[in-house]
Amino acid sequence: MKNSPTPRKILLIKMSSMGDIFHTFPAITDLKTHYPEIEIDWLVEDSFKEIVAWHPAVNRVIPIHLRRWMKERNKKSWQEFKAWRNTLCEQEYDLVIDAQGLFKSAVIAKMTRTKAIHGFDKNSARESIASYFYQKKYYVDKNQHAVTRTRQLLSQALNYTPATTLNFGINQNFSHVQKNLQKLIFIIGTSWTTKLWSTNHWQKLTALAIAQGYQVEIMWGSPEERAIANSIIATNPLATRPQQRLSITTIAEKLVEAAGVVGLDTGFSHLAGALETPTIALYGATSPVKVGLIGEHTSNMQLEQPLHCMPCHKRQCKWLDEHSTDTPPCMSGITPEQVWQQLTAKLTTI
């Protein structure tokens, strides 16, 4: 865009997942800082529209039900999709940026009314075929954190230099929340069984926290996670959990209120980090190098002596039986005492 006029209206495509959306916020902050006059619309999966709307730089959130449509694949879904596409094409954009780099996101980008679609080149996109849908493509090293990659993509597309500091840009939404320096939040759930930490470890960590005078609240989002929370509370009666499943915004408020957070490789751990609450995230089957928590107030924990199979990026651990729900060795080897030491070190910086 170096020799072209600055676009007035931009569409950003980043449909999922929750962690990926949080990783995109600093790039949006950078862009709006350099070009305050630009209007930024964001196309995202419907289940995450609430999150995208938190960022003050986002002019309009465009929800899509692509996951549901692809799963159902019936006449009703096809009709809904066509109506959605027609609505999308009512707006013309000076520039569309596919920040996801997948075949599905590139196809959606081609449906928009624009003469300029930008994205990662074939060596940078998560799926190289996506690059063939773009008018302009950029090389961004894959061996970098997702936050850095997105910031570099947008800065190349709009020809500016990102700030040296990292700003997720969403804290002002929760300025009404009062910090409780005696409150800790534990995020026990995640989408893969290979990412889980044992209930026994959570029980011991909770006991350590309560012994030091902290209040512990355990977040859950499914019946299985609620059962784990109940098991933790059974051995630590002073610990609590929400009675009902909470909205994303309500969980965010609790994360802001907390003095510290311990979680797994899941979107809510990334949210805690984006909200600048001291947060420890535990990693085993996945790697924190490219998608871990980022910032001085966060810490990504792994085994002190990693196993040769780490990170496997698999939903089933090869060391366990096929249908086992036991904690894999890469996670069970992280002790509650080690986590507590890391957390207390972060809490002293508040």
94-108, 123-137, 282-296: range with lowest mean pLDDT: 282-296
- Mean pLDDT, residues 28-49: 97
98 and 60 fall within a common domain: yes
**Do 286 and 265 form a contact (C-beta atoms < 8 A)?**
yes
Residue 110 has pLDDT above 70, yes or no: yes
| Predicted local confidence at residue 232, as pLDDT | 97
Residue 180 in any domain: the answer is yes
Residue 225 in any domain: the answer is yes
Residue 4 has pLDDT above 70, yes or no: no
Sign of CA dihedral 236, 237, 238, 242: positive
DSSP code string of 189-235: --S-GGGPPPHHHHHHHHHHHHHTT-EEEEE--SHHHHHHHHHHHHH
Residue 11 has pLDDT above 80, yes or no: yes
| pTM passes above 0.85 | yes
59-63, 250-254, 296-300, 319-323: range with lowest mean pLDDT: 319-323
Say if residue 7 is preceded by a cis peptide, omega within 30 of 0.
no
**Do 297 and 226 form a contact (C-beta atoms < 8 A)?**
no
192 and 229 fall within a common domain: yes
Residue 323 has pLDDT above 80, yes or no: no
Phi then psi dihedrals of residue 234, to 5 deg: -60, -35
| Predicted local confidence at residue 303, as pLDDT | 93
Identify the band that residue 341 occupies on the pLDDT scale cut at 50, 70 and 90. Answer: very high
Name the token pair of 117: 């679609």
Domain count of the fold of the chain: 2
CA nearest neighbour of 147 among 299, 270, 248: 270
159 and 272 fall within a common domain: no
Scored b (16 or more CB within 10 A) or e, 20-50 reads: bbbbbbbbbbbbbebbeebbbbbbbbeebee
Residue 103 in any domain: the answer is yes
Name the token pair of 296: 């001085």
204 and 341 fall within a common domain: yes
Domain that holds residue 122: 9-169
Residue 4 in any domain: the answer is no
Given 169, 192, 218, the domain boundary residue is 169
Residue 3 has pLDDT above 70, yes or no: no
136 and 183 fall within a common domain: no
| Predicted local confidence at residue 159, as pLDDT | 96
Residue 1 has pLDDT above 90, yes or no: no
| Predicted local confidence at residue 350, as pLDDT | 61
Report the CATH number at residue 143: 3.40.50.2000
126 and 186 fall within a common domain: no
Express each pLDDT in 74-97 by its tens digit. Answer: 999 999 999 999 999 999 999 999
- Mean pLDDT, residues 261-273: 95
| Predicted local confidence at residue 322, as pLDDT | 76
224 and 262 fall within a common domain: yes
Sign of CA dihedral 137, 88, 31, 37: positive
106 and 64 fall within a common domain: yes
Residue 193 has pLDDT above 90, yes or no: no
Express each pLDDT in 125-171 by its tens digit. Answer: 999 999 999 999 999 999 999 999 999 999 999 999 998 999 999 99
Residue 60 in any domain: the answer is yes
Residue 295 has pLDDT above 90, yes or no: no
The CA-based diameter of the chain, rounded to the nearest angstrom, is 65
Task: Calculate the CA 172 to chain-centre distance.
Answer: 19
Q: Where are the beta strands (DSSP E) in 235-314?
A: 258-264, 279-282, 298-301
Given 169, 198, 222, the domain boundary residue is 169
33 and 158 fall within a common domain: yes
83-92, 234-243, 287-296: range with lowest mean pLDDT: 287-296
Residue 77 in any domain: the answer is yes
Residue 1 in any domain: the answer is no
202 and 135 fall within a common domain: no
DSSP code string of 296-315: TTEEEE--SS--TT-----S
| Predicted local confidence at residue 324, as pLDDT | 75
Identify the band that residue 2 occupies on the pLDDT scale cut at 50, 70 and 90. Answer: very low
Residue 315 in any domain: the answer is yes
Identify the band that residue 33 occupies on the pLDDT scale cut at 50, 70 and 90. Answer: very high
164 and 213 fall within a common domain: no
Q: Please state, rounded to an integer, the average pLDDT across all residues of the chain.
A: 95
Helices 146-158 and 18-34 cross at an angle (nearest 10°) of 30
Residue 294 has pLDDT above 70, yes or no: yes
d(CA 257, CA 278): 11
- Cα angle: 342, vertex 343, 348; to 5 degrees: 105
The amino acid present at 235, given as its one-letter code, is: T
Instruction: Check residue 85 and give left, alpha or beta (phi > 0: left; psi -120 to 50: alpha).
Output: alpha
Given 169, 186, 217, the domain boundary residue is 169
Residue 325 has pLDDT above 90, yes or no: no
144 and 221 fall within a common domain: no
Collapse the DSSP code of 46 into the 3-class scheme (helix H, G, I; strand E, B; otherwise coil) and give the result: helix
